[in-house]
Structure 1
């Protein structure tokens, strides 16, 4: 990161991505290790899930309407297997997603404070950071759940009232646009809250609230940053869906290309969310106290008592008193 934090407030959409790519290429080794260890399994699990879930759905639908008792029992067992598979998939996705977030945010924070970062050191801090991120994720999941329930109620009302009219379809696209804007905004809020969880004393609901305060004044920037990521994400999925079912050598090549693209997209997204955090902090005139941040990061390694255990806040824009390292 070549720019001072005070300069980050002037960084726009293209500048943010420029800093993202510059940082990745400046620290190629550690980001390569993180990508191979956490992001590659995450990407593979995501794409493999698409194929396996579709095969299981096809097998269930093939026999679903058959009246034969034994076939009906077979379908029931396949449904049980389907939901077991879903549970394993979501668990692994959750696990590797949080590990990737923790690893990249911690790495960027260490780079920012001019600290020494190695992959071995990174592995030591992940258990502590992962637990805090999990609580933040659960609150985010609850927010997404409420948002989708409300959206589902609106969709049912639309379906049962004006869905068959021309006006109804106009309303549909308006509602869909509003839903998409809100969904991407909540995603941006979640990503900022994740960075706050790692770099500050707050986690869970408090991290979400701090993320909400940070994003003020930079809502459209954050929305466009993640909107572009979602567009590329959708493009990769479309490419994967179009070619993956041909079962030829060309299909294998396309699958590998999609895996490579998705892996790099996740990496860019995780780094971009931390860059957005720095931009938002700078926009609010809240300088990051590097010594205080070093104390926070050192706490994960047990070098001294971390502020989140000592019940002291690393508040936004406040300089902290820093404990001496015990030798």
Structure 2
């Protein structure tokens, strides 16, 4: 990031996107290898998941055949898919956040140093993810409870009122879901760059988002919407588009996987840059030398964090 620290708080969404997309140019080889080994498998798995589940679901819906065996295959596949998705999501987050922070502190960056730091970063992110999962589970239970109460309370003979009530509840659910997702992404960055993780990282993320809630909701909603469109087109053309021909489906599938890789990479860099934007907005100090030492701790070079220094006194 080439902007003075005091100007970070004034960045708009286009500015954040521009700053984020310029980061890989500072260490292209490192980001190329991270993309190839971590982000590409993650993106491919997200899209290719339906290619494997669709045939199983088709056989389950068929009136003939052994449904129990197909259900077993589906559940086993889903189990390993979720583990793969969870692992590579955390690995990608750890790698990109660590690399961006290293560039920010002018710490030497390489693919090997990033990979070496991941094991310790992964533990912190894993604990934070468990807290986020707990919050999500509680939230889903509350949402389902509201829907049940709504169906009971609203006169079912008035379908229009019931429909609009469900729409309002669903919109509220989506907004809160996007906000919790934003908390999770920012808490992931906090878990890597500060000596807190788990619930403490979630609390710190909540404090940092104050005053920047609208911006982060737009960013997260935009990311989720783009991913939704990509998944929708992939499903319509590649998974269910038998009429398009195998060549067209392969070409479209390859193109969409490439787009998903770019979206995920930019998304990870945006959440890293947004962390610095929030810190600047709240006039919180980032001691670059302390952050440098903190990052070195993941490589076995730990030096205790020093006291914070206002960002305005530092040069980026």
- Structure 1 runs of 4+ aligned residues shifted over 4 Å read none
Tell me the residue number matched to 1:291. 289
In structure 1, distance between residues paired with 2:17 and 2:155: 42
TM-score (norm 1): 0.88
After superposition, what is the alpha-carbon deviation per residue over 1:59-113, rounded to whole angstroms, capped at 9, x for unaligned? 11214xx6xxxx5xx3222212211111100000011101100000000100000
8 Å CA contact retained: 2:27, 2:109: no
Pairing 1:28-67 to 2, within 5 Å after superposition = 28-63=28-63
Residue from 250, 264, 267 that aligns with 2:265: 267
**What is the deviation of 1:46?**
1.1
The question of 1:169 aligning with 2:163 is answered yes
Pairing 1:205-224 to 2, within 5 Å after superposition = 205-224=199-218
- Tell me, what secondary structure is at the counterpart of 1:10? coil
Pairing 1:27-176 to 2, within 5 Å after superposition = 27-63=27-63, 71=65, 74-160=66-152, 161-162=154-155, 164-176=158-170
In structure 2, distance between residues paired with 1:273 and 1:11: 14
Larger mean CA deviation between 226-235 and 150-159 belongs to 150-159
Unaligned runs of 5+ in 1: 308-312, 320-327
Unaligned runs of 5+ in 2: 311-316
Tell me the residue number matched to 1:180. 174
The question of 1:17 aligning with 2:20 is answered no
Tell me the residue number matched to 1:310. none
**What is the deviation of 1:199?**
0.3
Larger mean CA deviation between 29-38 and 161-170 belongs to 161-170
Q: CA RMSD in A?
A: 1.7
In structure 2, distance between residues paired with 1:318 and 1:182: 34
In structure 1, distance between residues paired with 2:185 and 2:276: 13
After superposition, what is the alpha-carbon deviation per residue over 1:162-193, rounded to whole angstroms, capped at 9, x for unaligned? 46521222222221211111111111100010
Larger mean CA deviation between 254-263 and 165-174 belongs to 165-174
In structure 2, distance between residues paired with 1:108 and 1:177: 34
Q: Which has the higher contact order (CA 8 A, sep 6+)?
A: 2
8 Å CA contact retained: 2:90, 2:122: yes
Number of equivalences: 304
**What is the deviation of 1:156?**
2.4
After superposition, what is the alpha-carbon deviation per residue over 1:242-268, rounded to whole angstroms, capped at 9, x for unaligned? 101224210111111110111111001
